[in-house]
Amino acid sequence: MTPPPISPEAALDALRQAAEFNRTDPIRSGSLLKFPDYGQVVMTGDMHGHRRNFEKLCRYAMLDRAAARHVVLHELIHEDSVPGQPDTSWELLIRAAEYKCRFPEQVHFIQSNHELAQLTGQRISKGGRDVVAEFADAVTAAFGRDGPVILAAINELIASYPLAARLPHGVWLSHSLPDAQDMDRFDPRVVERVTFDPYDHQPGGDVYRLVWGRRHTPRLLERLAAAWDVNTFVIGHQPQDTGYDVPLDRLLIIASDHNHGVFLPIDLSRVATVDMLVSSIRKFVEVA
């Protein structure tokens, strides 16, 4: 069933409340989410406006019936729109904000490169399109004179995102990891901070490096594992046509932005290896 249209008032209320819930999340320490040792986390990959997968995720999670289950979302915006058609991924972002407001202690966001770019106005070219500008134009077209205030509220929400999550038995969740060549210049303690300088969000800054990196090596993972006291990493950021990949022994990459997309339920009470995590992967097409 198609959800009703989103009014400017409802959008503003959801975006602003969700931002406040992000800032005051009881499991947040600095910019890191620290989950308890019971229940379940459902980790997603990049979603890029895929509303059908989001709806299936909500049906699977049944947060109203599972108080110890959590959902982690990232990279919700900048869909692969049809040429000449507006980017409507802002709808998914607002629906996710509403989801956070319904379940403030169970729904969580983490920072991503596309959302960071939307916050800072950094141009991203996707299929020859400037998706940051197209997203802003689509919001303005949808909300008219209320567009600027909606965009400001979207930026407030994005700015409230924590950077990563650590599970109790050594699993790390983040949108990406820094490039191996940047590790000597990257400060892993950035996740302990609450506020950031503008430089942190620009090329060369620690937040930027964390969400934009693509070239990872066993040595990089070894150093980050020691710095963050973890052993296994789950990220998105890199497209996966079949839904997931294990490019390195302790690194799992998942994607949620297409019809072969997947999500990952993780038991918080158990130690999990990459092989165990792969065996837990679920396909969105399996959800009725």
Q: What is the pLDDT of residues 216-256, one digit of tens each?
A: 999 999 999 999 999 999 999 999 999 999 999 999 999 99
CA atoms within a 13 Å half-sphere pointing along the CA-CB vector of 209: 20
CATH number of the 8-244 domain: 3.60.21.10
**pLDDT for the residue numbered 4:** 65
Instruction: Report the C-alpha gap between 274 and 218 in whole angstroms.
Output: 14
Instruction: Report the C-alpha gap between 137 and 140 in whole angstroms.
Output: 5
Q: Are 236 and 244 in contact (CB under 8 A)?
A: no
**pLDDT for the residue numbered 286:** 96
Tokens 């289950």 locate to 69
pLDDT for 123-161, tens place per residue? 998 777 899 999 999 999 999 999 999 999 999 999 999
The domain limits of the chain are 8-244
Give the Cβ contact number of residue 69 at 10 Å.
18
| Beta-bridge mates of residue 130 | 125
Q: Name residues whose C-beta falls within 8 Å of residue 65's C-beta, 6 or more positions apart in sequence.
A: none
55: its two tokens: 């709806």
**b/e sequence 173-195, b meaning 16+ C-beta within 10 Å:** bbbbbbbbebbeebeeebbebee
Residue 35 identity: F
Q: Digits of tens for pLDDT over the chain (288 positions)?
A: 556 678 999 999 999 999 999 999 999 999 999 999 999 999 999 999 999 999 999 999 999 999 999 999 999 999 987 777 899 999 999 999 999 999 999 999 999 999 999 999 999 987 778 999 999 999 999 999 999 999 999 999 999 999 999 999 999 999 999 999 999 999 999 999 999 999 999 999 999 999 999 999 999 999 999 999 999 999 999 999 999 999 999 999 999 999 999 999 999 999 999 999 999 999 999 998
Instruction: Report the C-alpha gap between 70 and 108 in whole angstroms.
Output: 7
